[in-house]
Amino acid sequence: MNTAASAFAGADAVQLHDFARLCEQQALAHDYAHCSEVQGNVPIYQAQALRDGDRTQVLNELHHLFSNGPGVLVVRQAYTDLGVVDRHSKVFQAIFAEEAAQGVAADHFAKAGSNGRIWNALQKAALHAPASFVEYYANPLLGLIAEAWLGPDFQVTAQVNVVHPGGQAQQPHRDYHLGFQTVDVVQRYPLPLHALSQYLTLQGAIAHSDMPLETGPTQLLPFSQQYALGYLAWRRAEFIEYFQQHAVQLPLNKGDLLFFNPALFHAAGTNRTADCQRMANLLQISSAFGKPMEAVDRERMMLALYPCLLERVSDQVLDAKQVAAVIACTADGYSFPTNLDTDPPVHGLAPQTGQQLMHQALAERWPLATFAEAVQRQRDKRNA
């Protein structure tokens, strides 16, 4: 082999039989100690088993699953109180109504009228309904799964997707980063960067409605994330055909989670019902090291959520883990990029992060005005 040339691959290097050999692997329940069963090659977890498990063991198991395993998992009953999910669905409905009234364009990635989308649902929900945001994201399971793949200081973004009756299936694809580039661009990235792309994000979905098979829950091809040349392959006819023959679909219930490696071949399914909407809050969670797809004004979110969080902390309605879960979805957890002329390290090697500031403010019960000034100071220091 010419090793000097092997860092880059062209589209002609892809081979369906290499791909098929990987996708023929079987996921075995006993390899995933905390899962309750494997369905359609997808490990299914009861949320309580993840909550009760030894944290380090759970993190290891999930990381292995996303990387060397089938690449996709389902968590049942991630919300014990479905009222929390329903109240947040109402927030989404209100945002939909507001955007429809303003004539905001719908989904760029689907046929007009078949879908409803809320881009940057994270920020919009935080500003629209802080109390609902706080109770909804005060769920440490989301961060546990994100951390298993991405480590700490991940950056959550969210997009709501509603598929109306008759909404058609997507073509199979991979997701962000390289899944959003043309083959010409993908070929210019050396292969280690293809592998890196999958480590920079994690795809998730929170089911906001029951999703029986006829509503078209996501079609998934377990183990397909392991194919090294997959970003060059997913548009090819023979790969699409293989996907259509071998993809699995799992019914979800309201409050269930689906998480998968962004390199997994997947596609939204067809909603064959006459009257059933399918609604999910899609989470695209980025590594601290990566550029997220969506711009989020995290300082604005911090200020919008602070009064509500302060009240919940003072009244001891939320415990420390729940507060940390909300802050992890809200503020920036990473010190960089910053302006090192004006924002030198305070303790250790890195300047204070938005998350650290928010924790400190809540722990010391700062009034909103004090917190707002500190957020502004931090913003000014970090800007170039």
Burial class (CB in 10 A: 0-12, 13-18, 19+), 295: exposed
Closest to Fe ion by CB, 59 or 110:
110
Q: Does 107 bind Fe ion (CB under 5 A)?
A: no
Closest to Fe ion by CB, 147 or 175:
175
Among 64-72, 138-146, 174-182, 322-330, which window interacts with Fe ion (CB under 5 A)? 174-182
Least distance in angstroms from the C-beta of 266 to Fe ion? 6
Q: For strands 72-76 and 42-46, give the pairing.
A: parallel
Among 40-48, 66-74, 151-159, 172-180, which window interacts with Fe ion (CB under 5 A)? 172-180
CA dihedral 307, 310, 312, 315 (to 10 degrees): -120
200 and 236 Cβ atoms separated by less than 8 Å:
no
Least distance in angstroms from the C-beta of 16 to Fe ion? 21
Among 67-75, 157-165, 169-177, 306-314, which window interacts with Fe ion (CB under 5 A)? 169-177
Least distance in angstroms from the C-beta of 74 to Fe ion? 17
Instruction: Outline where the chain has alpha helix (H).
Output: 16-23, 47-52, 55-67, 82-102, 121-128, 130-137, 140-150, 183-188, 191-199, 230-233, 237-246, 298-314, 320-330, 354-363, 368-382
Least distance in angstroms from the C-beta of 175 to Fe ion? 4
Among 51-59, 131-139, 168-176, 185-193, which window interacts with Fe ion (CB under 5 A)? 168-176
Closest CA to 47 of 140, 184, 173, 149: 140
Kindly tell me which residue out of 175, 256, 299, 343 binds Fe ion, with binding defined by CB under 5 A.
175
Burial class (CB in 10 A: 0-12, 13-18, 19+), 230: buried
CA distance linking residue 208 with residue 228, whole number of Å = 33
Burial class (CB in 10 A: 0-12, 13-18, 19+), 175: buried
Site for Fe ion in 251-310 (CB under 5 A): none
Among 158-166, 167-175, 233-241, 310-318, which window interacts with Fe ion (CB under 5 A)? 167-175
Closest to Fe ion by CB, 61 or 175:
175
Least distance in angstroms from the C-beta of 21 to Fe ion? 24
CA 381 to chain centre: 30
Closest to Fe ion by CB, 53 or 292:
292
SS3 at position 356: helix
Closest to Fe ion by CB, 175 or 332:
175
Q: How many residues bind Fe ion (CB under 5 A)?
A: 1
234 and 19 Cβ atoms separated by less than 8 Å:
no
Least distance in angstroms from the C-beta of 279 to Fe ion? 16
Least distance in angstroms from the C-beta of 171 to Fe ion? 10
Query: What residue is closest to Fe ion based on CB?
Result: 175
CA distance linking residue 33 with residue 322, whole number of Å = 25
**Distance of CA 326 to CAs 133, 136, 195, 292, Å?**
8, 8, 30, 19
Closest to Fe ion by CB, 135 or 175:
175
Among 49-57, 173-181, 223-231, 303-311, which window interacts with Fe ion (CB under 5 A)? 173-181
Least distance in angstroms from the C-beta of 192 to Fe ion? 23
Residues that bind Fe ion (CB under 5 A): 175
